[in-house]
């Protein structure tokens, strides 16, 4: 059977959407009780009946006798596909080789893959450097950083310099062993660096701000 979301009743669509939202927000399927709480249905038997009909229509599947076994199988989802990107606590010279470790991860954010060329090597971190505030970056923003994206003149990058994690606008230097890293307010009184002085963590590819 080909799953078709449009063939569901309104109540079935409500349950289906609740399941899909729960999975996307928490990364695991909901229980029958949790589905009931989301849709305002206090009778577990009624929720089970809807789940049975959803399974018959081919939009979900379950493993008999297993808790949290609901899987979405419809090709007609109301939601765009996404990938989960880890938000990390910090970047330092000590953990630069192992940023995505379990002790450094705060949470995972569902992100459209349209924003990321290589989501497997990207991460999110809270901005703690206001040195590029004129470029609309401020402390508290969520920065999306790619470690593999090509860096071009004018791109904003995260660097490690003298054990400090900083944001700078990148430019090539006429000497191959140097590079130019500019801030909006040059507190370091330094824009030209030897390449061996700094570690480029990655390129800022997106910035999330609350207004």
| Of the ranges 3-17, 102-116, 126-140, 157-171, the best mean pLDDT one | 157-171
Quote the DSSP letter at residue 30: P
% of the chain residues with pLDDT over 90? 34
Residue-level pLDDT at 1: 43
CATH class of 5-72: mainly alpha
Residue 59 banded pLDDT, cuts 50, 70, 90: confident
Phi and psi at 138, nearest 5°, equal -140, 160
pLDDT at 2 > cutoff 50: no
Q: Kindly state the tokens that stand for 98.
A: 């192992």
pLDDT at 4 > cutoff 70: no
| Of the ranges 95-104, 168-177, 183-192, the best mean pLDDT one | 168-177
Lowest mean pLDDT among 17-26, 126-135, 168-177: 126-135
Residue-level pLDDT at 156: 92
Residue-level pLDDT at 76: 54
CATH H-level, domain 83-208: superfamily: Umud Fragment, subunit A (2.10.109.10)
Looking up tokens 């401020």 gives 138
Q: Report which of residues 85 and 82 the model is more confident about.
A: 85
Q: Kindly state the tokens that stand for 156.
A: 């904003």
| Of the ranges 14-28, 53-67, 142-156, the best mean pLDDT one | 142-156
pLDDT at 134 > cutoff 90: no
Residue-level pLDDT at 81: 62
Structural domain boundaries in the chain: 5-72, 83-208
% of the chain residues with pLDDT over 70? 88
pTM value surpassing 0.95: no
Q: Write down the mean pLDDT value for the chain.
A: 84
Which are the contacts of 92, defined by CB distance < 8 A and separation ≥ 6?
160, 163, 165
3-state secondary structure string across 79-123: CCCCEEEEEECCCCCCCHHHCCCCCCEEEEEEECHHHCCCHHHEE
Work out the average pLDDT over 20-31.
85
Contact 82, 113 (CB under 8 A): yes
């Amino acid at each position: 059977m080909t799953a078709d979301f449009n063939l569901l009743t309104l109540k079935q669509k409500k349950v289906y959407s609740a399941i899909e939202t729960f999975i996307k927000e928490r990364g695991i399927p909901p229980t029958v009780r949790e589905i009931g709480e989301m849709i305002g249905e206090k009778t577990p038997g009624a929720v089970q009946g809807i789940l049975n009909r959803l399974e018959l229509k081919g939009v979900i599947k379950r493993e008999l006798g297993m808790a949290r076994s609901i899987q979405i199988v419809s090709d007609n989802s109301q939601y765009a596909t996404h990938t989960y990107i880890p938000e990390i606590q910090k970047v330092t010279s000590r953990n630069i080789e192992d940023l995505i470790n379990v002790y450094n991860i705060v949470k995972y954010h569902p992100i459209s893959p349209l924003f990321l060329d290589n989501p497997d090597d990207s991460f999110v971190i809270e901005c703690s450097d206001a040195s590029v505030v004129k470029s609309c970056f401020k402390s508290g923003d969520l920065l999306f950083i790619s470690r593999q994206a090509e860096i071009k003149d004018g791109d904003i990058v995260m660097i490690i310099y003298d054990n400090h994690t900083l944001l700078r606008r990148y430019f090539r230097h006429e000497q191959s062993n140097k590079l130019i890293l500019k801030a909006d307010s040059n507190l370091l009184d330094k824009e030209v660096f030897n390449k061996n002085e700094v570690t480029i963590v990655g390129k800022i590819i997106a910035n999330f701000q609350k207004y």
